[in-house]
Amino acid sequence: MPALLAWFVVAMVVVGLFSTAFKPDIGILEAPQLALCLVLLAILGVRYELGFMRNWIGDLALGVVAALAASLLISAAGRHEGDAALGFWALTAATWAAFWLFVERLAIWKSRSLLTTRIVNLAIPAIFGITLLILWELIVTGAGVPKVLLPAPSEIWLRMTTSVPTLWADFQQTFLKAVLVGFALGCGAGFLIAILVDRVPFLRRGLLPIGNLVSALPIIGVAPIMVMWFGFDWPSKAAVVIIMTFFPMLVNTVSGLAASDAMQRDLMRTYASNYWQTLFKLRLPMAMPFIFNALKINSTLALIGAIVAEFFGTPIVGMGFRISTEVGRMNVDMVWAEIAVAALAGSLFYGLVALLERAVTFWHPSIRG
């Protein structure tokens, strides 16, 4: 596989160098730096097959040159927007393959220290994401895709940096108010009710099947009702989030509380431990993996709930509101800016919960392993 990729890079570079890169008749050799860069890339790519620099320095050099080639390609594409021809696409493919090769090499790196392993494990998906962004940029500018269809990442970035106040206001309205409040109340209520339900076997048998069913329902549909009941401002969105996050928490906590095995419960019994002691010392710690599972599910549900609820009526601020109005005005770059903020916030939120999970359930085989 790596050998195939390496020769693919070489072939693409050769094709790229000797055919037109941009219409009407511009070859890549007219940008000497870029040409040089790509030749270097090809050489670095096949060095394993040719048998030199078979070490991590070579790997790193490959990565650096690929990044350089990508940035030069991007600026070249910017100068000839929409004029890309065969040569350009070949070079784009070569760059993509080079990045792939780089990741392929990184993945088989054997490192001595834990820190480098961590960094590499973070770097691989990061490089993968960056590669996607680069490809997106190259294809959109190279082919001249109309802005209303799909703006280039650079345009989205530009839009983000120029409309910080709007984005911040929307973020505040949707995330800081509706999402966080709803998430906290929904998860908290789900947790407390779960403990109550667990205490009363009748409720557990009666509510759990219903809770399971409700978890599978499109709860988001209650959004219009909540908007009618609680008005246009954020409380109605928080209410939607509460309902959406409540059931996953309920169901997960109840099954988590039942997760301790018979021997562990017998052990507590031989100590004549009372209900609360058993709850805090055995059953809650045992339930933590389940509870965090619910928290992670809920962290994505909450954002979705709040944004979608805004489609049913909002004051003139909020991420969902902005998205639906800017789509109407064909300001697609603003929509993407809003999406980028949402994705970033969502990922950070999720990451935070996952980090907390690592700290709390460090003992669980799935984490310590």
Partner 1 sequence: MSDTALTAPRSTNPFAGLMSGTLGPVLVVVLAIFAIWYVAAVALNTPFQQDMYERANQTDVPMSQLVRDTLAQERPVLPAPHQVIVEIWNTTVEKKITSKRSLIYHSGITLSSTLLGFLIGTLLGILLAVGIVHSRVLEKSLMPWVISSQTIPILAIAPMIIVVLNAVGVSGLLPKAMISTYLSFFPVTVGMVKGLRSPEVIHMDLMHTYSATRLQAFWKLRLPYAVPYLFTSMKIGMAASLVGAIVGELPTGAVAGLGARLLAGSYYGQTIQIWSALLMAAFLAGSLVALIGALEKLTLKRMGMAR
Partner 2 sequence: MLTAAEIEDGLEDAMSSQANRVIDIDNLSLTFETNDGPVHALSDIDLKIEEGDFVSFIGPSGCGKTTLLRVIADLEQPTAGSITVNGVSPEQARINRAYGYVFQAAALYPWRTIAKNVALPLEIMGLSREEQQQRIQKNMELVNLAGFENKYPWQLSGGMQQRASIARALAVEPDLLLMDEPFGALDEIVRDHLNEQLLQLWAKTNKTVVFVTHSIPEAVFLSTKIVVLCPRPGRIYDVIESDLPRDRNLDIRETPEFLKIAHRVREGLKAGHSYED
Tokens of 48: 């394993």
Using CB under 8 A as the binding rule, whether residue 313 contacts partner 1 is answered as yes
Give CA angle at 72 (62, 14), nearest 5°. Answer: 65
Instruction: Count how many Cα atoms sit within 13 Å of the Cα of residue 88 in the half-sphere of its side chain.
Output: 29
Of residues 314, 320, 337, 361, which one binds partner 1 by CB under 8 A? Answer: 320
Using CB under 8 A as the binding rule, whether residue 259 contacts partner 2 is answered as no
Tokens of 260: 């301790």
Whole-number Å distance between alpha carbons of 186 and 192? 10
Cα→Cα distances 147→103, 233, 244, 343, Å: 31, 32, 35, 21
Q: Min. distance of Cβ 43 from partner 1 in angstroms?
A: 22
Contact 289, 366 (CB under 8 A): yes
Of residues 40, 349, 357, 361, which one binds partner 1 by CB under 8 A? Answer: 349
In the list partner 2, partner 1, none, the entry touching 363 (Cβ below 5 to 8 angstroms by class) is partner 2
Coil/strand/helix, residue 26: strand
CB atoms under 10 Å from CB of 280, counted, come to 11
Using CB under 8 A as the binding rule, whether residue 291 contacts partner 1 is answered as no
Using CB under 8 A as the binding rule, whether residue 282 contacts partner 2 is answered as yes
Of residues 272, 328, 329, 366, which one binds partner 2 by CB under 8 A? Answer: 272
Of residues 110, 115, 266, 328, which one binds partner 2 by CB under 8 A? Answer: 266
Using CB under 8 A as the binding rule, whether residue 355 contacts partner 1 is answered as no
Q: Min. distance of Cβ 91 from partner 2 in angstroms?
A: 52
Omega prior to 153 cis, within 30 of 0: no
Using CB under 8 A as the binding rule, whether residue 113 contacts partner 1 is answered as no
- The phi-psi region of residue 330 (left if phi > 0; otherwise alpha if psi is between -120 and 50; otherwise beta) is left
Query: Which of 5, 11 has the CB closer to partner 1?
Result: 5
Of residues 267, 304, 308, 317, which one binds partner 2 by CB under 8 A? Answer: 267
Tokens of 112: 């001595």
Cα→Cα distances 67→41, 99, 116, 230, Å: 10, 8, 21, 51
Of residues 228, 259, 316, 355, which one binds partner 1 by CB under 8 A? Answer: 228
Whole-number Å distance between alpha carbons of 55 and 48? 9
Whole-number Å distance between alpha carbons of 342 and 336? 10
Using CB under 8 A as the binding rule, whether residue 213 contacts partner 1 is answered as yes
Query: Which of 25, 276 has the CB closer to partner 1?
Result: 276
Query: Which of 122, 354 has the CB closer to partner 2?
Result: 354
In the list partner 1, partner 2, none, the entry touching 281 (Cβ below 5 to 8 angstroms by class) is partner 2
Give CA angle at 302 (301, 308), nearest 5°. Answer: 85
Per CB under 8 A, residues contacting partner 1 are 100, 103-104, 107-108, 121, 124-125, 127-129, 148-150, 201-203, 205-207, 209-210, 213, 215-218, 220-225, 227-229, 265, 268-269, 272-275, 278, 299-300, 303-304, 307-308, 311-313, 319-320, 323-324, 327-328, 332, 335, 338-339, 342-343, 346-347, 349-350
Per CB under 8 A, residues contacting partner 2 are 263-264, 266-273, 277, 281-282, 285, 361-365, 368
